Amino acid sequence: MKSKTLEQVENQFETFQILNEEGEIVNEAAMPNLNDEQLQELMKRMIYTRIWDQRAISLNRQGRLGFYAPVAGQEASMLGTHFALEKEDWILPGYRDIPQIVFHGVSLEQAFLWSRGHFQGGQMPEGVNVLMPQIIIGAQIIQNAGVALGLKRKNTNTVAITYTGDGGASQGDFYEGLNFAGAYNAPAIFVVQNNRFAISTPVEKQSAAKTIAQKAVAAGIHGVQVDGMDVLAVYAATQEARERGVRGDGPTLIETLTYRYGPHTMAGDDPTRYRTGELDDEWEKKDPLVRFRKFLEKKNLWTEDQENEVVEQAKEDIKAAIKKADAAPKQKVTDLIGFMNEELPYNLKEQMDKFKAKESK
């Protein structure tokens, strides 16, 4: 009996790419069928998100936002995957995946309230198929498998997609979620945004596997590794994964090779302690916005005026959203207690009465 070696299996997962760093097409056969307006919209969303990220970091430093995880460098990975989805698909985001849910229908105002820990930030709008961003590393993987199975049982032509980082792929929930989805042939997409360092641990120390994509083999599902700085490759891989799920061919694990230019979160992380300046410089040359801008400019689809218009729109939207968030009613302890249970147990009822009395004074 002839069996494959580990090296043979690992070599199956070559990085899928369409655009190189100069914005040149290197895989014509894989080019997705996107018209000029759609290509421009992709660029608009990435620029919008980069400006939003810069403003959010500034707002955090001013004390006007609570928890925030920077996204610069990961725009192609985030927005390329989302662009391949339909409105009816479900998104189960991690705490960094706020851009995807905003472009899926959650308002910027609500995103800011979520960052502040306000209860209204977790109340997703009716008809917007997203769950509240998950703080627990990897917990959304199992949840995604369950939501996808529910979609299958309802015979919907939709998928459930979730995101985690390379650190999340080391969690037990990651393997359980992939295994469950594979066993039940659920229409699920699992995206691992491999930015190489999780919080601070190099991916080489996270796992002995050459790729994260190959972990799909053990779960019996499809896996692919994608250049996460190439928005067209990310889109094409996700589109294929969605089609596979809808037609009943099971889940997909997508590993996007990407890089976050900022800290893990704004809660005191210092990336200079575990990343070198040389590595930062190397990945800045792969910037997804620069690469896609070069591609569009060669096709006469992008100008400086168009970019400036998007930048100004983003600034205006963010200014208006933070103003609305500032005007939201102040959160009270009774709000939190009241949302925990439909019927309060006696100990929480005592606390509720106590805090109500204080609030009424």
Q: Is 163 a catalytic residue?
A: no
Cβ count within 10 A of residue 54: 17
Q: Which of 264, 275, 291, 293 is catalytic?
A: 264
Which homologous superfamily does the CATH classification assign to the domain defined by 6-329?
Thiamin diphosphate (ThDP)-binding fold, Pyr/PP domains (3.40.50.970)
Q: Is 82 a catalytic residue?
A: no
When computed from its CA atoms, the radius of gyration of the chain, rounded to whole angstroms, is 21
Tell whether the torsion through CA atoms of 186, 133, 339 and 267 is positive or negative: positive
CA distance 106 to 208: 38
Give the tens place of pLDDT for each residue, 323-351. Answer: 999 999 998 999 888 887 889 999 999 99
Strand partners, 191: 163, 254
Burial of residue 272 (number of CB atoms within 10 Å: 0-12, 13-18, 19+) = exposed
Model confidence band, residue 40 (pLDDT cutoffs 50, 70, 90): very high
Q: Which of 260, 275, 291, 293 is catalytic?
A: 260
Which pTM was predicted?
A: 0.95
Sheet holding 90-92, edge to edge: 90-92, 160-165, 188-194, 252-257, 222-227
Is there a contact between 258 and 47 (Cβ–Cβ < 8 Å)?
Answer: no
Residues 6+ apart with CB under 8 A from 178: 141, 145, 190, 215, 216, 218, 219, 221, 251, 253
Q: What pLDDT does residue 2 have? A: 54
Give the tens place of pLDDT for each residue, 112-146. Answer: 999 999 999 999 999 999 999 999 999 999 999 99
Strand partners, 92: 162
Rounded average pLDDT over 58-65: 94
CA distance 260 to 196: 9
Q: Is 273 a catalytic residue?
A: no
Give the tens place of pLDDT for each residue, 218-240. Answer: 999 999 999 999 999 999 999 99
Model confidence band, residue 303 (pLDDT cutoffs 50, 70, 90): very high
Domain boundaries, the chain: 6-329, 331-361
